[in-house]
Copies of this chain bind each other. A is one copy, B any other.
Amino acid sequence: MDAIDRSLVELLRGNARLSYAELARQVGLSAPAVHERVGKLESSGVIRAYRAEVEPEAIGLGVTALIGIVEDSGGDTDDVLETFRQMPEIESCYFMAGVESFLLKARVGTIAELEQLIVRLSRTPGVASTRTGIALSTKWENRPQPIDPPAS
Contact = CB atoms under 8 A, between A and B. Distances in A.
Task: Output the residue of A48, A59, A133 with the most chain B CB within 10 A.
Answer: A59
Interface in A74-117: 81, 84-85, 88-98, 100, 102-103, 107, 109
A53 B85 CA distance: 19
B142 A51 contact: yes
Size category, A interface: 35 or more
A90 B138 CA distance: 13
Contacts of A151: 60
B13 A145 contact: no
A143 B100 CA distance: 21
Contact of A54 (B46, B91, B100): B46
A147 B49 CA distance: 19
A53 B61 contact: no
A135 B48 contact: no
A141 B103 CA distance: 11
Contact of A15 (B49, B89, B90): B49
A6 interface: yes
B53 A96 contact: no
Interface in A38-88: 45-55, 58-61, 64, 66, 81, 84-85, 88
Nearest to A141: B92
Contacts of A51: 12-16, 50-51, 53, 142, 144
